[in-house]
Amino acid sequence: MDPIRWDALIAHLASARHNLSQVAPEVYPLTIPHLAATPDQLTGAEARLGYPLDPLYRELLGYGNGWPQLVFTGDMLGTDDLGQGPRWDQGQELLDLYYENCDTSELPERDQLYPIYASQHDLNVMALRKDGPVTNGGHEVIWLYTEINGRWANTLQWWLACIEIVNNATAYFENPATPR
């Protein structure tokens, strides 16, 4: 497999977020990713977690170390969030709420997920699996709300879906009368 061009993919999502901020600035102000994580930040996050980061998520963090309001009202967690702080706590709480109140029969055990995206304003949480199959170098990402809203084979597929989600939101705000 060719190396993933995370720099280009981050730029693509940044362009999509810019477009969204132009058509719906009150709802989706312009946000940008944090600077790349350093090797020390990556190893520090892994030390706090007590396990290695998913390889593809680790690569992504090496180009963009978290992103506020990545999609919708949630934040992509960076190395400073992993294993500590309010974003981590919110992600853990949302995962716990889902496992306490929703059907989890198609999900791994709760302790096999860790949040990489958490909303401060609703129930959206996206989590990476620590176990399960590895597809093209990474584990599955699962989006939970009041049901399973999405599943992607790895972080790359999740990132591509984030681009699509932002583009769909932009299309909606550009022409809200169009049926979806």
78: burial class by Cβ within 10 Å (0-12, 13-18, 19+)?
A: buried
CA pair distance 13, 10, nearest whole angstrom:
5
pLDDT of residue 1: 64
Q: Is 144 left (phi over 0), alpha (psi -120 to 50) or beta?
A: beta
What is the domain class of 6-174 according to CATH?
alpha beta
Around 64, how many Cα atoms within 13 Å sit in the side-chain half-sphere?
A: 23
Task: Note the pLDDT of residue 180.
Answer: 52
Tell me what pLDDT residue 152 has: 98
| Separation CA 9–CA 35 (nearest Å) | 15
The domain spans of the chain are 6-174
The arrangement of strands across the sheet holding 113-119 comes to: 67-71, 74-76, 113-119, 125-129, 141-144, 148-152
Residues 6+ apart with CB under 8 A from 116: 57, 76, 77, 91, 126, 127, 128, 141, 155
CA distance 129 to 154: 9
Residue numbers of the chain with a pLDDT score lower than 50? none
- Tens digit of each residue's pLDDT (9 = 90 or more) over 133-174: 999 999 999 999 999 999 999 999 999 999 999 999 999 999
